[in-house]
């Protein structure tokens, strides 16, 4: 399953052989929720906080304490097993329960030898194991009568299931089997590589799907968050069973794992986790070089590039060597972020796992889109404009989420109705004012140590330069203190209400509730209650939003990776019959953006 941007958890809890249990009081710091409003790449944003330790068991058996004075939605418990597996529960009753396993893995942590394996390994879930054939596994999953899935992203690998309450032990058993005891036969690997090949071709044929991926590649220029979420096409022929095993040895460790339950009593959840995951042992060290001979990677020809006034020399060995199909493409990077060619020499993973995301900014221009075979289909050009944004642990993440909701946007056609954002700025100021705009939407991707905020749009061919001007105008307006375009109380209140409504409605889903719990514990070692989230959102002011907007769109964000503050632009223009497209040069793009005082120059 193609799933963009997720989070990596930070391990919390006891060390050594003792299990620890915490009952988490509501947090007093700002945090955010991944499901509100499922913006763009299902980005997850949270507040990092260290919960108060209320009780610690000094025996090997976990001790569970209760607090009847708490609201049921705030009474979350976390236990760390002796081997490092964290067990988190939210025991709200209901006819369905959920269980999920969340691993600190994903494309962000892949080195050159493991490039693209995250995309393949989620497709190998729920196949044959040491105890069941693939057909038996499928039959067992169908008998659960619920929803079971696996998905990878930039910062996490998730195995999730929502089932009837009585089927929870069976669901945990299936998850444990596919995580710990998969056979991963050569036949299964080849089959999933063929499927991934088809999936890659389909996604690359749809600019609205592939451009958000390329925004990351340009923004982080081949490092960490810039690693391709999709397996590069050149790598499909090089990934083998040995490559998969090398990936598993690196990331499938108990200390990198959270097992989350919703609708299950904490005592029962701890017993189930001990039964199925308690015997997992963390290896003393990860040995990857043993598979180096079988994990070979091809050399990739580098496309032509150019430098332009106002920017440094384009990096010919950077992002384009990491993403497929990018031949004959114009590219420029704001900094010389050098990325080595793919190599068979496997480096120790620990250094890669702790590397900070370094935002570079940059520019990618894809080859023009040929006219569609069906003349009734629209001919469109696409452009994305992004700036480095705040990480999930930042106190201002709520304000940034509210700004994204306030900008809103969507397509040129909408059936309307309450809650669809028809009064958002991108609808009222862009879609309703410019008939040549097909879609215009704000996006916000948040990660553990960086993020991206900006606007994506599609328009008629030949209008890309005008579209960029409109996008810059809307982002600049967020920073104004006075005037007709400045932020107003009524629209800020509307955005806050819409954000809270979306958050609460999404949490009605058992799977969303499960993912929320697992991901928060994975990232922060704690869970922030929905009541506190809504309270913090309600407390935001116009001044808060203006201050955060100025910080982000002016390139003033200072994250751990010390980003450049420069803008990121990715575009693909549509061809028109009888008309020759004039390339939109990076120097001209930079000049237009600078006129609106956006980005750091």
For 516-533, the pLDDT digits (tens) are: 999 999 998 899 889 999
Q: Residues near 390 by Cβ (< 8 Å), separated by ≥ 6?
A: 396, 397, 400, 446, 451, 453, 548, 552, 557, 559
Q: By residue range, what is the domain housing residue 566?
A: 362-596
Q: What per-residue confidence (pLDDT) applies to 454?
A: 98
Asked whether the predicted pLDDT for residue 94 surpasses 90, the reply is: no
Query: Cα–Cα distance between 247 and 394 in angstroms, integer?
Result: 31
Backbone angles phi, psi at 365, to 5 degrees: -125, 110
Is residue 262 located within the same domain as residue 370? no
pLDDT at 284: 54
On whether both 164 and 273 belong to a single domain, the answer is yes
Tell me if 80 is assigned to some domain. yes
Task: Please report the sign of the dihedral spanned by the C-alpha atoms of residue 297, residue 299, residue 305, residue 311.
Answer: positive
Q: 205-246: per-residue pLDDT in tens?
A: 999 999 999 999 999 998 999 999 999 999 999 999 999 999
Tell me, yes or no, whether 158 lies in a domain: yes
| 540 is a domain residue | yes
Out of 222, 243, 278, a domain closes at 278
Q: What average pLDDT does range 240-256 have in this prediction?
A: 95
Q: Mean of the pLDDT values across residues 148-177?
A: 96
Query: Percent of the chain at pLDDT above 70?
Result: 75
Q: Where a domain ends, among 263, 278, 293?
A: 278
Joined tokens for residue 598: 């956006």
Domain membership flag for residue 181 = yes
Query: Is 391 among the domain residues?
Result: yes
Helix (H) or strand (E) holding 216: helix 207-220
Does the pLDDT at position 2 exceed 80?
no
Global confidence as pTM: 0.80
**537 and 528 Cβ atoms separated by less than 8 Å:** no
What is residue 430's DSSP assignment?
Answer: I
**In terms of Cα–Cα distance, which of 51, 33, 29 is closest to 42?**
33
List the CATH number of the domain containing 479: 3.30.830.10
Q: What is the mean pLDDT of residues 73-92?
A: 89
Instruction: Give the mean pLDDT of the chain.
Output: 81
Is residue 164 scored above 70 in pLDDT? yes
Q: Are residues 379 and 251 in the same domain?
A: no
Largest CA distance in the chain: 79
Q: Which two tokens stand for residue 303?
A: 């496309």
Domain match, 428 and 544 both: yes
Q: Does residue 386 sit in helix, strand or coil?
A: strand
3-state secondary structure of 333: strand
Task: Name the domain boundary from 236, 263, 278.
Answer: 278
Is residue 243 one of the residues assigned to a domain?
Answer: yes
Average pLDDT over residues 559-588: 91
Task: Check whether residue 585 and residue 436 sit in a common domain.
Answer: yes
Please state the domain count of the chain: 2
When pLDDT is averaged across residues 106-112 and rounded to a whole number, the result is 94
Question: How confident is the model over 127-134, as a mean pLDDT?
Answer: 95
Residue 381 in domain: yes
Question: Tokens 């980003």 belong to which residue?
Answer: 563
- Say yes or no to pLDDT of 560 above 70: yes
Q: Is the pLDDT of residue 339 over 80?
A: no
Whether 16 has a pLDDT exceeding 70, the answer reads: no
CA distance 455 to 520: 27
> Would you place residue 20 in the very low, low, confident or very high pLDDT band (cuts 50, 70, 90)?
very low
Mean pLDDT of 316-320: 38
């Amino acid at each position: 399953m193609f799933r963009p941007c997720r989070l990596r958890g930070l391990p919390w809890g006891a060390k050594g052989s003792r299990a620890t249990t915490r009952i988490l009081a509501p947090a007093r710091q700002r945090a955010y929720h991944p499901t509100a409003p499922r913006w763009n790449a299902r980005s997850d944003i949270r507040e990092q906080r260290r919960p108060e330790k209320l009780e610690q068991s000094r025996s090997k058996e976990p001790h569970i304490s209760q607090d009847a004075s708490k609201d049921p939605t705030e009474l979350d418990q976390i236990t760390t097993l002796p081997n490092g597996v964290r067990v988190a529960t939210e025991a709200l009753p209901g006819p369905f329960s959920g269980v999920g396993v969340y691993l600190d893995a994903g494309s962000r942590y892949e080195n050159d030898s493991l490039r693209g394996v995250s995309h393949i390994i989620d497709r190998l879930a729920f196949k044959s194991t040491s105890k069941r054939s693939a057909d038996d596994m499928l039959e067992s999953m169908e008998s659960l009568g619920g929803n079971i899935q696996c998905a990878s992203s930039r910062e996490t690998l998730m195995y999730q299931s929502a089932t009837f309450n009585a089927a929870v032990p069976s669901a945990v058993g299936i998850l444990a089997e596919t995580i710990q005891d998969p056979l991963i036969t050569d036949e299964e690997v080849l089959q999933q590589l063929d499927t991934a090949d088809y999936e890659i071709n389909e996604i690359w044929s749809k600019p609205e799907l592939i451009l958000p991926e390329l925004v990351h590649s340009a923004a982080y220029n081949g490092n960490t968050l810039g690693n391709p979420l999709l397996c590069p096409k050149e790598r499909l022929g090089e990934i083998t069973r040995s490559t998969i095993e090398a990936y598993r040895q690196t990331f499938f460790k108990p200390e990198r794992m959270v097992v989350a339950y919703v609708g299950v009593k904490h005592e029962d959840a701890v017993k189930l986790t001990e039964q199925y995951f308690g015997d997992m042992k963390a290896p003393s060290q990860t040995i990857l070089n043993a598979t180096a001979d079988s994990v070979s990677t091809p050399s990739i020809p580098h496309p032509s590039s150019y430098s332009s006034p106002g920017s440094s020399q384009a990096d010919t060995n950077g992002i384009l060597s990491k993403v497929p199909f990018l031949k004959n493409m114009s590219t420029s990077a704001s900094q010389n972020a050098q990325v080595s060619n793919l190599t068979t020499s496997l480096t120790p993973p620990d250094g890669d796992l702790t590397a900070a995301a370094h935002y570079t900014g940059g520019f990618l221009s894809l080859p023009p889109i040929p006219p569609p075979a069906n003349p009734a289909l629209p001919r469109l050009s696409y452009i994305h404009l992004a700036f480095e944004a705040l990480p999930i642990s930042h106190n201002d993440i709520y304000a940034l989420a509210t700004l994204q909701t306030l900008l809103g946007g969507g397509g040129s056609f909408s059936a309307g109705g309450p809650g669809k954002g028809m009064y958002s700025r991108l609808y009222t100021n862009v879609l309703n004012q410019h008939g040549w705009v097909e879609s215009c939407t704000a996006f916000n991707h948040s990660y553990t140590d960086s993020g991206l905020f900006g606007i994506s749009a599609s328009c008629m061919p030949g209008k890309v330069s005008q579209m960029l001007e409109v996008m810059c105008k809307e982002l600049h307006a967020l920073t104004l203190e006075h005037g007709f375009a400045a932020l107003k109380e009524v629209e800020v209140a509307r955005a806050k209400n819409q954000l809270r409504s979306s958050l609460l409605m999404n949490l009605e889903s058992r799977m969303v509730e499960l993912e929320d719990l697992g991901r928060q514990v994975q990232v922060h070692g704690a869970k922030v209650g929905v009541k506190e989230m809504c309270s913090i959102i309600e407390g935001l002011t116009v001044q808060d939003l203006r201050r955060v907007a100025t910080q982000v769109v002016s390139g003033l964000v200072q994250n751990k990776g010390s980003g450049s503050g420069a803008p990121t632009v990715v575009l693909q223009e549509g061809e028109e019959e009888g008309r020759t497209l004039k390339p939109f040069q990076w120097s001209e793009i930079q000049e237009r953006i600078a006129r609106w005082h956006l980005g750091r120059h």
